[in-house]
Structure 1
Amino acid sequence: MKIKLILVMIFLYGGILTLQAKEYNASLFGIKSNGTTLNTTSIQKAIDFIHEQGGGTLRFYVGRYLTGTVVLKENVHIQLEEGAILVGSTNIYDYNIDVPNCALIYAKDAKNITIKGKGVIDGQGREVAYNLLAQIQSGVLKDPLDYDRPRNRRPKAIYMRSCENVRIHGVTIKNSADWVQVYDQCVNTVVDSITVDSKAFWNNDGIDIVDCRNFKLLNSFIDASDDAICLKSHDATKSCEDVEIRNCTARSSANGIKFGTVSAGGYKRIRIINNKVYDTFRSALTIATPDGGIVEDILVDSLTAFNTGNPFYLRIGARWNKGRIGSINNVVIQNVKVEVAKEKPDRGYSYEGPIEDNPRNPSPSSIVGLKNAPIRNVTFRNIEISYPGGSNPHYAYRGTSRTDLDSIPEMEASYPEFSQFKELPAWGFYIRHAENIHFEGVVLKLREPDYRPMLVLDDVNGYSLSKVKQEGAKGKKELVAQGSKKINLSGNT
């Protein structure tokens, strides 16, 4: 009797495992791999069928699978084997263009979904964007066109909203017409060991993490023609919380790792550990909250950045904040090495970052709050930054007198970028409207002489400098605090 019971239990347990691990080949549903047959309906039928059966894996083998928008559903997993390419249609009408955030792969309110394997998702974004533009210019579709770029209806490669237990693993995502992948208000998401190669058109953010909780981005390479790794907050009642970005490499024609720009709710408990950034036209790291968001408890540890336009930019603004004042509080940036480029770092890429704030001399790292909203409690520890120097006061000048510092505009309603103030009075760090800023073991190197001092603090309430050094070419060895007081920095301070 006991033996029969055990056999029955083994049979039932094996059946459950079989059900959970059920796999379906794409060909079973008439899905063609020839690269010319439009498979949208067949792929969607496969997803719907697997979902109705309680879940399983839809497996694609070697080939090119042409498709428009498909909607991923609960308990359905996409397996792209090596050599399998999911190819986006170039016909804009093959996408869900009447839905906000249309995408090649779309999911909403779905649990337990996966995209994995060694295959590729190719959005063919340049062709899609140009075909959309042609429809707008012919009058068939209406769009305001920002800088002759369609504002709406450009499909993303992946968009997931309010999903739970999402896994993206191993795949390559390339050539999106818009942001490459967006995870919006998702919970318990892991994106691991992916490759993003998307320089097909403007606004190609590599990954956007929007108001998500318990999100991990791990072991990935992201090369994008806009911000590579980007945290956003679109909803004033939500925020990005408990996010980990670890062991990633990022290249961008904009920022390497960025908080914002849209920052309505904010960011809490963010850990950015052991990452590399290179060839970034803008900052290696930007933390911006221009829309009333709360930023707190941020750790950046072991970041290496080279050939970048700027090391750090921390900024509170008042753009779309609707009367709410944002904040940045408790930020630790440690164990960082940065090399700032002399020339334009993203030169030669198809879509270079726009030169919109020139002419100017090289910009320093900046921490810029507002008069009524200072940035609070920021620590830089074990930092080494190499700056190009070479600023020329006859080309563009900004001094350190009270009059000179007061002439720097607040620009609280402007789009937050490190170069927005044009000329700044320091070559290393410029800090304005801040409280409790601490430097511990900071070495700032200058490759060519610079007429400006290394650090300028203006309206800073509380700061400390421990083992701060200037090395390299000749520069003013002094700190200018509050626009008048000068402290010699000959060696350690």
Structure 2
Amino acid sequence: MKYLLSFCLFLGSLSLQAKDYPASLFGIYSDGVTLNTRSIQYAIDHIHQNGGGRLVFYVGRYLTGSIHLKSNVTIHLEEGAVLLGSLNPFDYDRKVWTALVFAHNQENISITGKGVIDGQGRYLARNVVTMIQKGLIKDLFRYDRPEAEARAVLIYFRENKNVNLTDVTLKNSASWVQIYDQCKNVKLNRIAVDSKAYWNNDGIDVVDCDGVEITDSFIDASDDGICLKSHDASKVCQNVLVRNCTVRSSANGVKFGTATYGGFRHIQIYNVKVYDTYRSAVTLAAVDGGFVEDVEVDSLKAYNTGNAIFLRIGERVKGKKGRMENIRISNVYAEIPATKPDAGYEYEGPVEDMPRNVSPSGITGLPDALISNVTLKNVELVFPGGGTPHFAQVLLTELDKVPEKATSYPEFSMFGELPAWGFYIRHAKNVTMTNVTLTCQKKDYRTAVVLDDVHQSNFTGLKVSEPGKKKPVYVYKSSDVKVP
């Protein structure tokens, strides 16, 4: 009876499985020429209205403009199938953002399979520029390029529940690659991002979401690789797991807090590799009045990366200072090069930050908004050294000259020349370093670690290796600090 009951349950589960619908059933063509927007949308609507299922695309190139995914519908791209974005800017809808695939207030939606979504972003963006110059599209057109919202992202999902992307490759977006905004239960597993087609090609943007897993994925993007944001002061981006991912970027590997109007809570970043990346391997920022709390980074490896760790509190919204506390960073190895690590990218990081001596990792709050409760354990950072005083120099006796820049965009190089080569820590309390090793490969005129306005902190687990002998830590305007 037990086996009979199990078999009946199995048969019942089969009957409940979603139905597969081949794309060709709806007159969707795979020639890469026929515009299939209306046919694909009809197919999605039909599947949605009939209980859900998979819209299956087999080998071929399926040209389309904006489509809107509906509840209980999966777009399944078999290996060799390419969902191809139109080159005509007027084939795209705009719902705050312009996008190829939209979903708003839906649930149980998926994009799966080993196929590709290709936005043809380089050429689409150029066509947007042409339409702006003709006066047919209104745009601020700053820096000789359209605003990010006017260029089609590949995916814009807002206020959805139970979102799944598995195995798919996303490439050549004209803007950010994919945005998940105020969604719940998002799983991105074994996806690949290859998007260096134009400016602002963030690999993954997670905005004010609750419950996100980004696992076993590869991101190669010409802007921040994995980027968390909080656009709404009443929302929190929380319960996010990033695990077993590899990132290459012409900006930051993993970054959150550029937009911090609400906050970030319960963020876990495990076993991530970052390489050939212009800015920081990890940047955490609270600069728009929001908060960052309870963040754990464990097992981070960074190679040929411009900076390892950057923590920052700012005040870009007047009268609203950020808050950052309870940050745990452990088992980190990073190699910082002397040369520009993203050299050769079609869209490299901005040259205005060069030339300069290589910047240290930073933990930088504000005088009345200290970063608190930061633990660094089992961290090894290797720096090139060779810092020279021929650049704009800030002496240890002139630390008050380092600008606060409370309203500036948060990046590790924002302060210009700094008097440390390893760590620069200012306006912080309860910072602990345990088994932290800083290696300088060539003689550097600067001190390894500079502490300015740091309190109740312990750095006795710090080891410094550099040519020549000098005191490894300089302490200024600080209290209750234990140093080697």
TM, length-normalised to structure 2: 0.96
Q: For the residues of structure 2 that align with 1:379 and 1:484, how far apart are their CA atoms?
A: 18
Q: Structure 1 residues 381 and 11, CA, compared in 2 at 3 Å: closer, same or farther?
A: closer
Match of 2:429 in 1: 435
**Which of 170, 176, 179 is residue 179 of structure 1 equivalent to?**
176
Q: Which amino acid aligns with 2:411?
A: E
Give the stretch that moved more between structures: 377-386 or 322-331: 322-331
Q: Structure 1 residues 419 and 454, CA, compared in 2 at 3 Å: closer, same or farther?
A: same
**TM-superposition CA deviations, 1:329-363 (whole Å, max 9, x none):** 00000000000011000000100011222332110
Whether contact under 8 Å (1:453, 1:475) holds in the other structure is no
Match of 2:381 in 1: 385
Q: For the residues of structure 2 that align with 1:475 and 1:400, how far apart are their CA atoms?
A: 17
**Which of 327, 340, 351 is residue 344 of structure 1 equivalent to?**
340
Match of 2:446 in 1: 452
Indicate yes or no: 2:20 matched with 1:26. no
Match of 1:370 in 2: 366
Match of 1:410 in 2: 404
Whether contact under 8 Å (2:70, 2:106) holds in the other structure is yes
Indicate yes or no: 2:274 matched with 1:303. no
**TM-superposition CA deviations, 1:305-350 (whole Å, max 9, x none):** 0100011110000113x53321000000000000001100000010
Q: For the residues of structure 1 that align with 2:136 and 2:359, how far apart are their CA atoms?
A: 45
**Which of 312, 315, 319 is residue 318 of structure 1 equivalent to?**
315
Q: Which amino acid aligns with 2:354?
A: N
1:293 CA displacement = 1.1
Q: Structure 1 residues 117 and 397, CA, compared in 2 at 3 Å: closer, same or farther?
A: same
Indicate yes or no: 2:133 matched with 1:137. yes
Whether contact under 8 Å (2:460, 2:482) holds in the other structure is no
SS of the residue aligned with 2:93?
coil
Whether contact under 8 Å (1:389, 1:447) holds in the other structure is yes
Q: Which amino acid aligns with 2:300?
A: L
Q: For the residues of structure 1 that align with 2:258 and 2:190, how far apart are their CA atoms?
A: 26
**Which of 308, 323, 346 is residue 327 of structure 1 equivalent to?**
323
**Which of 80, 83, 86 is residue 86 of structure 1 equivalent to?**
83
Q: Which amino acid aligns with 1:229?
A: I
Whether contact under 8 Å (1:361, 1:396) holds in the other structure is no
SS of the residue aligned with 1:27?
helix
**Which of 34, 38, 54 is residue 35 of structure 2 equivalent to?**
38
1:378 CA displacement = 0.3
**Which of 345, 354, 377 is residue 358 of structure 1 equivalent to?**
354
Q: For the residues of structure 1 that align with 2:241 and 2:6, how far apart are their CA atoms?
A: 41
Match of 2:471 in 1: 477
Q: Which amino acid aligns with 2:288?
A: D
Indicate yes or no: 2:256 matched with 1:262. no
Whether contact under 8 Å (2:216, 2:243) holds in the other structure is yes
Indicate yes or no: 2:69 matched with 1:72. yes
Match of 1:189 in 2: 186
Q: Which amino acid aligns with 1:237?
A: S
SS of the residue aligned with 1:470?
strand
1:8 CA displacement = 13
1:16 CA displacement = 6.7
1:264 CA displacement = 0.7
1:398 CA displacement = 1.4
Q: For the residues of structure 1 that align with 2:315 and 2:391, how far apart are their CA atoms?
A: 31
Q: Which amino acid aligns with 1:366?
A: G
Q: For the residues of structure 1 that align with 2:436 and 2:7, how far apart are their CA atoms?
A: 63
Whether contact under 8 Å (1:288, 1:316) holds in the other structure is yes
What number of residue pairs does the alignment pair up? Answer: 480
| Identical pairs, percent | 56
Q: Which amino acid aligns with 1:427?
A: W
Match of 2:155 in 1: 158
Q: For the residues of structure 1 that align with 2:193 and 2:283, how far apart are their CA atoms?
A: 20
**Which of 96, 101, 107 is residue 100 of structure 1 equivalent to?**
96
Match of 1:3 in 2: none
Gaps of 5+ in 2: none
**TM-superposition CA deviations, 1:10-49 (whole Å, max 9, x none):** 8998577435321100000000000000000000000000
Indicate yes or no: 2:465 matched with 1:468. no
Whether contact under 8 Å (2:58, 2:79) holds in the other structure is yes
**Which of 420, 428, 435 is residue 426 of structure 1 equivalent to?**
420
Q: For the residues of structure 1 that align with 2:234 and 2:441, how far apart are their CA atoms?
A: 46
**Which of 264, 285, 289 is residue 288 of structure 1 equivalent to?**
285
Q: Which amino acid aligns with 1:420?
A: M
1:461 CA displacement = 1.2
Whether contact under 8 Å (2:287, 2:312) holds in the other structure is yes
TM, length-normalised to structure 1: 0.94
Q: For the residues of structure 2 that align with 1:15 and 1:393, how far apart are their CA atoms?
A: 75
Q: Structure 1 residues 346 and 475, CA, compared in 2 at 3 Å: closer, same or farther?
A: farther
SS of the residue aligned with 1:284?
strand
Q: For the residues of structure 2 that align with 1:148 and 1:124, how far apart are their CA atoms?
A: 20
1:472 CA displacement = 4.0
Whether contact under 8 Å (2:419, 2:447) holds in the other structure is yes
Q: For the residues of structure 1 that align with 2:174 and 2:86, how far apart are their CA atoms?
A: 11
Q: Which amino acid aligns with 1:263?
A: T
RMSD of aligned alpha carbons: 2.0
Whether contact under 8 Å (2:459, 2:482) holds in the other structure is no
Q: For the residues of structure 2 that align with 1:15 and 1:64, how far apart are their CA atoms?
A: 36
Q: Structure 1 residues 43 and 19, CA, compared in 2 at 3 Å: closer, same or farther?
A: farther
Match of 2:54 in 1: 57
